[in-house]
């Protein structure tokens, strides 16, 4: 049941933003048409890329895995529809730097034919490990945007007891409505996925956290909870305040606890999962279907018909835009994600990936409002709104002067890059950009340091090994000598007289000496000098001694 | 289609620097009008001289430093400095004094430190201190308020006096200028007169209203009102003025309770001289004040304490400029030690503080 929000905690700062959500909420979730080609990047998540299972020319069915994850933190990708692989090559992917990465390009056949799936009747028959394996093979990652492999998150480790799982339906960024629509239309799927997660984590305390600007979603979920008689799940309605949906802020609001500075939510017995991920888990377990589609909000003032579309992974963004009526004339920016944390794309010839929750088309109206960047006047507005209680103006100061020690003293790595500070900055300083720059630089330095540490360690090891070998050799030699000497002594003691060899050598040396004395001393170039030469030498010696004394 | 790129966030709802400065200038208007009404055209002429000087120096310095002139000249910060300084000067200050003070404020206190956002000291107050130390006599050329029995100059006479130093023939110089009520109170209290005696005094008595000096009550009241508006609009931080006024009230009240006759009463302190201008418009200059919430409390209280000390025992009747400049010096230190506790961290994880030190 919905709890009243008066027992909730608050986090520092935050911003009340214009939602702009209604524009994409007017029509139900549509279905994106199957494009002529889907472009599936092999790497769409945090972690390692899987091994490729297919080759060019292969026919693939919908849901067929394209990669196999061999490492722990990884997720496979699947064919999102049936067709033929025409190429496996580098293709541009949605990335802030416009990078290209290996992609499987499938020419679709329009049949949308499923591969064989293995649904599970009752997930309670399986143990947690088996459930996690299925979720892992279904390629499920966090659909809130970060795309962290869900199976890993569902396995906090034996020494961590999870007592609360928070299901994040806050959706605090303006414009985005994909989670809202999902909760309204597919509340049963969400609840079913939540039950699987709670079972896998062996806990009975599930909280669905939703901002109070989504009463329809709250109602639908409550109804679904009632229908399934789920006593272990409750819905909490929270005040609408950006960034309530941030993991750390959400935990603070719901539980009043704070995630330790360098820790994870699991350290305080909490896990946060996105509601969209729960619907994907439901699909993966109950129907055996891997993650091959997601709901994408296509919205913004520069798009003709904003709406939510259930989109196959790999669909080119241009196809989605076209389905939404295309761009308006004044469209100027294409943003993946929300207006606060999303990044701009240079082109729409990019595939939709698992972490793509929103395509936002902004107009030139924004550009007109903005002014050139002015110097920081230390007004402190950023301090007031920072949800991590940082001092953004000091971070900016030290980041721009590349003082990477100081910037860490001011807790740079607790910055969640929510953009509140830049939003309120009267000097229009792109603050978050500076923090990203500083973080990247520090990571680079750290990598360099690790590399040099590694090299130094290897050098030290080698040196130690060589030293040891040398010592051992010397030890061996010494022992051998000792042994020989002992033997000699013994022999001498036994024979009772002087060593004949030694006596012979001494005799020879004595002979040589006598011969030398006879022949006179070896001539030197200082012998037989004239008086003048002698004087010069004496003077030189004097000078030398003097300069030495000085 | 190729799209433009930009860094997130992709919208901005904030005030710009220009808008902040414009609102500060707007908020100065009521108090300034009161000052003109009660003390004549000198105030207005000072503001004009200071503004022209400030904008000229600003443009000159921007040009010398190779900075774009238009965005910085129109940001309004030079105008704010000019107005604050002009409002702090005596109404009949000679023109060159205003020019020197303003030029020092813009050239030395602001641009030689790197311009907007980089100056450690409040430019207006730095300029003020330079002229009050260099030209103490000219800095006493205040005029009496518009009350019976005192002389008043018209616009032409004021203009001539400021630019040529020639007083109109119909008045004696002594009749034109007059010490401020604060000055009078300070001197007479020093001469062991009681507050009551001063109020009854034949010459000075009529200068005092029901709260403080006539005219000054209105000026300070209006600056207080518009200052509250600025704080409400979040153009300035409320902690600094509350810290200053609270501390000044607390100290003056404590001393007045201890000895009513020989200490200035708190109401007089709070409505005399440049206190409201100082508390809401000068000390709140964000560039030179502390920026952390706790630091701003301490900054404000520090200014309040220093104002009280200077006013009561120091060599100057008002002391706002010195109090603000001294606390400007302390601002970096305050910022460093008043860093807020970051999310997920302990309070002792602030830089410069080590838990081990505490454990010992």
CB within 8 Å: B3 and A377? no
Does residue B98 surpass a pLDDT of 90? yes
| CB spacing of B3 vs A428 below 8 angstroms | no
- For chain A, the distance separating the N- and C-terminal CA atoms, rounded to the nearest angstrom, is 96
pLDDT of residue A545: 84
Q: Which residue in the set A261, A370, A376 is minimally distant from B12, CB to CB?
A: A370
Minimal Cβ distance to B117: which of A259, A377, A383: A377
Q: Among residues of chain A, what percentage have pLDDT more than 90?
A: 56
Helix B77-88 with B123-134: angle, nearest 10 deg: 30
What is the structure's pLDDT at A150? 92
Q: Residue B8 is nearest to which of A342, A391, A424, comparing CB atoms?
A: A342
Cβ of A422 within 8 Å of Cβ of B71? The answer is no
CA atoms lying within 13 Å on the CB side of residue B228: 6
Helix axes A392-400, A431-495, angle to 10 degrees: 60
Determine, for residues B71 and A378 on separate chains, whether the beta-carbon distance falls below 8 Å: no
Across the range A377-405, mean pLDDT stands at 92
CB pair distance less than 8 Å for A426 and B14: yes
Token pair listed for A465: 């090994």
Cα separation of B90 and A274, whole Å? Answer: 66
Using CB atoms, which residue from B15, B234, B344 is nearest to A261? B344
Contact A193, A282 (CB under 8 A): yes
Q: What pLDDT shows up at residue B263?
A: 85
Q: Which of residues 498-537 of A touch B (CB under 8 A)?
A: none
Question: CA B210 to CA B207: how far, in whole Å?
Answer: 10
Cα B217 to its chain centre, rounded Å, is 16
Kindly tell me if the per-residue pLDDT of B286 is higher than 80: yes
To test the contact with chain B by mutation, choose from A265, A375, A419 the residue with the greatest count of B C-beta atoms within 10 A, namely A375
Strands A37-41 and A100-108: antiparallel
Q: What is the pLDDT of residue B184?
A: 82
B343 contact residues in A (CB cutoff 8 A): 11-12, 248, 252, 258-259, 387-389, 414
pLDDT of the residue at B359: 45
Answer yes or no: do A432 and B116 touch at CB < 8 A. no
Total number of residues shown for chain A: 550
Residue A363 has phi, psi (to 5 degrees) of -105, 175
Contact residues, chain A, for B335 at CB < 8 Å: 391, 394
Q: Is B233 on the interface with A (CB under 8 A)?
A: no
Domain ranges of chain B: 16-177, 181-336
Examine the pLDDT at A302 and tell me if it is beyond 50: yes
CA nearest neighbour of A351 among A92, A108, A135: A92
Contact A383 B291 (CB under 8 A): yes
pLDDT of residue B21: 93
pLDDT-derived band at B252, boundaries 50, 70, 90? very high
Mean pLDDT score of chain B? 88
Residue A339 to residue B291, Cβ atoms within 8 A = no
Residue A1 has what pLDDT?
47
Distance separating alpha carbons of residues B59 and B61, to the nearest angstrom: 6
Please say whether the beta carbons of A233 and A7 come within 8 A.
no
Nearest to residue B241, comparing CAs of B250, B251, B231?
A: B231
CA distances A126 to A131, A196, A200, Å, are 7, 10, 10
Q: Which CATH class is domain A2-34+123-363?
A: alpha beta
- Residues from chain B that touch A332, judged by Cβ atoms under 8 A, are 3-4
Report d(CA A83, CA A106) in Å as an integer. Answer: 6
Q: How far is A481 from chain B (nearest CA, A)?
A: 57
The CA-atom distances, in angstroms, between A494 and each of A500, A502, A544, B300 are 14, 17, 59, 101
Tokens of A340: 């606060």
Alpha-carbon distance A139 to A208, whole Å?
23
pLDDT, mean over chain A:
88
Task: Determine the average pLDDT of the residues in B92-112.
Answer: 95
- What is the least distance, in Å, from the CA of B335 to any CA of chain A? 9
Lowest mean pLDDT among A251-260, A283-292, A311-320, B202-211: B202-211
Residue A35 has pLDDT above 60, yes or no: yes
Q: CA triplet A390, A355, A433: central angle to 5 degrees? A: 35
Instruction: For residues B229-240, give the mean pLDDT.
Output: 94
Reading the block at residue A432, the tokens are: 């978050």
Question: Would you call A504 helix, strand, or coil by DSSP?
Answer: helix
What is the SS3 assignment for B85? helix
- Minimal CA separation from A265 to chain B, in Å: 11
Closest by Cα among B181, B108, B190 to B145:
B181
List CB contacts (< 8 A) between B9 and chain A: 339-341, 419, 422-423, 432
Q: Let me know: does A388 contact A415? Beta carbons within 8 Å.
A: yes
- For chains A and B, count residue pairs whose Cβ atoms are closer than 8 Å: 174
CA dist A104 to A46, A53, A116, Å?
Answer: 19, 11, 21
pLDDT given at position B63: 93
* Total residues belonging to chain B: 360
Q: Give dist(CA A114, CA A428) in Å, integer.
A: 51
**What is the tally of helices (H) and strands (E) in chain A?**
16, 16
Look at residues B31, B273, B38, B272 and name the one whose alpha carbon lies nearest to residue B152.
B38
pLDDT score at A524: 63
Mutate to test the interface with A, among B114, B299, B332, B343 (most CBs of A within 10 A): B343
**Is the predicted pLDDT of residue A5 greater than 70, yes or no?**
no
CB B344 to CB A383 under 8 A?
no
Residues of chain B contacting residue A379, judged by C-beta atoms under 8 Å apart? 20, 286, 291
Q: What pTM was estimated for this model as a whole?
A: 0.82
Contact B12 A369 (CB under 8 A): yes
Q: Which residues contact B268 (CB under 8 A, 6 or more apart)?
A: B185, B211, B212
Does residue A285 carry a pLDDT above 80? yes
Strand order in the sheet with A59-60: A37-41, A100-108, A83-92, A59-60
Q: What is the model's pLDDT at position B149?
A: 66
Q: Residue B290: closest CA among chain A residues belongs to which residue?
A: A378
Asked if residue A28 lies in contact with residue A52, where contact means CB atoms within 8 angstroms, the answer is no
Nearest to A278 by CA among A196, A184, A202: A196
**Structure token digits, residue A114:** 């499923």
State CA B76 to chain mean position distance: 17
Residue A10, chain B, CB below 8 Å: the answer is: no
What's the pLDDT at B360? 40
| Both tokens assigned to B272 | 């005399």
Residue B152 pLDDT exceeds 80: no
Q: Which residues of A381-398 are buried (b: 16+ CB within 10 A; e: fewer)?
A: bbbbbbbbbbbbbbbbbb
DSSP string, B282-344: ITT-TTTS--SHHHHHHHHHHHHHHHHHHHHHSSSS--HHHHHHHHHHHHHHHHHHTPPPPTT
Poorest-pLDDT segment among A124-128, A280-284, B47-51? A124-128
* Residues B287, A378: C-beta atoms closer than 8 Å: yes
Nearest chain A CA: its distance from B6 CA (Å):
6
Across the interface, do A344 and B4 touch by the CB < 8 Å criterion?
A: yes
> Taking a contact as any Cβ pair under 8 Å apart, which residues of chain B between 272 and 331 contact chain A?
286-287, 289, 291-293, 296
B341 inside 8 A of chain A by CB: yes
Looking at residues A456-462, what average pLDDT do you find? Answer: 90
Q: Does the pLDDT of residue B227 top 50, yes or no?
A: yes
Interface confidence, given as ipTM, is 0.86
Residues 1-20 of B with CB under 8 A from A: 1-20
Q: Nearest residue of A to residue B235 by CA position?
A: A379
Residue A322 scores a pLDDT above 90: yes
Q: Do A332 and B14 lie within an 8 Å CB cutoff? A: no
A171-222 pLDDT tens trace: 999 999 999 999 999 999 999 999 999 999 989 899 999 999 999 999 999 9
B58 at A interface, C-beta within 8 A: no
| Residue of B2, B19, B342 lying closest to A390 (CB–CB) | B342
Contact A414 B19 (CB under 8 A): no
Inter-chain contact B2–A346, Cβ cutoff 8 Å?
Answer: yes
Gap between the Cα atoms of A81 and A498, Å rounded: 100
Residue A480 main-chain phi, psi, to 5 deg = -60, -45
Mean per-residue pLDDT, B245-263: 91
Q: Which residue of A has its CA nearest to B348?
A: A409
List, for residues B207-221, the tens digit of each pLDDT value: 787 777 888 999 999
CA atoms of A389 and A385, how far apart (whole Å): 8
B70 touches chain A (CB under 8 A): no
In angstroms, the CA B155 to CA A127 distance is 94
CA distance A194 to A58: 37
Which residue pairs from A365-369 have beta carbons closer than 8 angstroms and sit at least 24 positions apart in sequence?
A365/A301, A365/A330, A366/A332, A366/A333, A366/B10, A366/B11, A366/B12, A367/A332, A367/B4, A369/B12
Of B7, B10, B344, the CB nearest to A414: B344
Q: Is the pLDDT of residue B9 over 80?
A: no
Find the residue in A nearest to B116 (Cα). A375
| Distances from the Cα of B196 to the Cα of B199, B208, B273, angstroms | 5, 11, 20
pLDDT for residue B358 is more than 50 = no
Instruction: Report chain B residues whose CB lies below 8 A from the CB of A348.
Output: 1, 3
3-state class of A366 per DSSP?
helix
In angstroms, rounded to a whole number, what is the distance separating the alpha carbons of residues B332 and A22? 46
Domain ranges of chain A: 2-34+123-363, 381-440
Name the E strands within A213-321.
233-238, 270-274, 293-299, 307-312
pLDDT at A381 over 60: yes
Question: Are A259 and B293 within 8 A, CB to CB?
Answer: no
């Amino acid at each position: 049941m919905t709890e009243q929000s008066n027992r909730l905690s608050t986090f520092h700062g935050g911003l009340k933003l214009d939602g702009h959500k209604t524009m994409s909420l007017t029509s139900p979730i549509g279905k994106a048409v199957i494009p002529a080609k889907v472009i599936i990047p092999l790497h769409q998540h945090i972690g390692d890329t899987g091994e490729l299972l297919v080759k060019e020319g292969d026919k693939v069915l919908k849901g067929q895995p394209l990669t196999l994850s061999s490492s722990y933190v990884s997720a496979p990708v699947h064919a999102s529809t049936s067709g033929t692989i025409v190429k496996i090559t580098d293709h541009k992917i949605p990335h802030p730097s416009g990078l290209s990465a290996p992609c499987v390009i499938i020419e679709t056949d329009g049949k949308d034919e499923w591969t064989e799936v293995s649904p599970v009747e009752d997930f309670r028959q399986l143990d947690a490990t088996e459930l996690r394996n299925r979720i892992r093979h279904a390629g499920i990652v966090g659909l809130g945007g970060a795309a962290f492999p869900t199976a890993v998150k569902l396995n906090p480790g034996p020494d961590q007891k999870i007592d609360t799982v928070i299901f994040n339906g806050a959706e605090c960024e303006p414009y985005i409505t994909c989670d809202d629509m999902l909760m309204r239309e597919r509340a049963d799927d969400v609840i079913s996925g939540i039950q699987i997660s709670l079972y896998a984590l062996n806990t009975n305390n599930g909280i669905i956290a939703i901002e109070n600007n989504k009463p329809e979603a709250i109602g639908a979920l409550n109804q679904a909870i009632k229908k399934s008689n789920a006593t272990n799940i409750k819905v909490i309605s929270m005040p609408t305040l950006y960034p309530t949906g941030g993991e750390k802020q959400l935990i603070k609001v719901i539980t009043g606890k704070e995630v330790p500075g360098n820790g994870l939510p699991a350290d305080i017995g909490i896990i946060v999962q996105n509601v969209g991920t729960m619907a994907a888990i439901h699909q993966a377990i109950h129907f055996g279907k891997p993650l091959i589609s997601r709901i994408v909000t296509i919205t913004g003032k520069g798009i003709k018909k904003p709406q939510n579309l259930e989109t196959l992974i790999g669909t080119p963004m241009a196809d989605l835009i076209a389905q939404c009526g295309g761009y308006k004339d004044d469209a100027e920016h294409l943003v993946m994600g929300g207006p606060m944390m999303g990044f701009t794309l240079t082109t729409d010839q990019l595939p939709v990936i698992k972490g793509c929750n929103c395509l936002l088309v902004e107009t030139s109206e924004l550009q007109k409002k903005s002014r050139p960047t002015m110097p920081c006047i230390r007004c402190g507005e950023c301090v007031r709104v920072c949800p991590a209680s940082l001092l953004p103006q000091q971070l900016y100061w030290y980041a721009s002067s590349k003082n990477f020690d100081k910037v860490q003293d001011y807790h740079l790595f607790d910055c969640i890059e929510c953009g509140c500070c830049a939003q309120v900055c009267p000097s229009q300083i792109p603050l978050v950009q500076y923090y990203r720059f500083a973080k990247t630089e520090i990571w680079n330095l750290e990598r360099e340091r690790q590399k040099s540490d590694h090299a130094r360690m290897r050098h030290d090891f080698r040196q130690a090994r060589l030293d040891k070998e040398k010592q051992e050799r010397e030890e061996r030699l010494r022992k051998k000598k000792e042994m020989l000497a002992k033997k000699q002594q013994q022999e001498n003691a036994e024979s009772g007289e002087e060593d004949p060899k030694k006596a012979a050598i001494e005799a020879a040396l004595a002979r040589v000496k006598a011969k030398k004395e006879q022949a006179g001393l070896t001539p030197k170039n200082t012998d037989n000098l004239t008086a003048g030469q002698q004087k010069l030498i004496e003077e030189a010696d004097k000078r030398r001694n003097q300069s030495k004394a000085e | 289609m190729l799209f433009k790129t930009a860094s997130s966030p992709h919208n901005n709802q904030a005030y710009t620097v220009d808008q902040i400065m414009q609102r500060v200038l707007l908020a100065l208007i009521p108090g300034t009008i009161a000052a003109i009404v009660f003390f004549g055209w000198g105030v207005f002429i000072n503001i004009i001289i200071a503004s022209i000087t400030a904008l000229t120096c600003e443009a000159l310095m921007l040009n010398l430093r190779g900075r774009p002139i238009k965005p910085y000249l129109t940001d309004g910060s030079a105008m704010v400095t000019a107005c604050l300084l002009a409002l702090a000067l005596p109404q009949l200050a000679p023109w060159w004094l205003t020019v020197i003070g303003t030029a020092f404020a813009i050239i030395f206190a602001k641009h030689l430190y790197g311009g907007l956002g980089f100056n450690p000291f409040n430019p207006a107050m730095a300029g003020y201190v330079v002229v009050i130390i260099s030209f103490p006599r000219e800095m006493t050329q205040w005029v009496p308020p518009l009350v019976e029995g005192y002389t008043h100059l018209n616009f032409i006479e004021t203009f001539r006096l400021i630019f040529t130093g020639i007083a109109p023939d119909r008045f004696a110089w002594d009749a034109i200028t007059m010490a401020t009520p604060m000055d009078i109170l300070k001197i007479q209290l020093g001469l062991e007169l009681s507050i009551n005696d001063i109020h009854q005094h034949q010459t000075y008595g009529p200068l005092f209203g029901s709260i403080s000096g006539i005219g000054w009550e209105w000026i300070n009241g209006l600056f207080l009102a518009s200052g509250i508006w600025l704080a409400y609009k979040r153009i300035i931080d409320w902690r600094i003025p509350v810290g200053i006024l609270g501390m000044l009230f607390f100290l003056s009240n404590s001393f007045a309770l201890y000895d009513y006759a020989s200490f200035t009463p708190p109401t007089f302190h709070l409505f005399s001289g440049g206190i409201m201008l100082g508390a809401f418009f000068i000390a709140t200059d964000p560039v030179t004040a502390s920026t952390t919430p706790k630091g701003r409390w301490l900054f404000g209280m520090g200014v309040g304490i220093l104002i009280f000390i200077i006013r009561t025992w120091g060599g100057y009747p008002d002391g706002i400029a010195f109090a603000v400049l001294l606390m400007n010096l302390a601002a970096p230190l305050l910022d460093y030690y008043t860093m807020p506790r970051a999310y997920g961290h302990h309070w002792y994880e602030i830089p410069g503080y080590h838990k081990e030190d505490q454990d010992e």
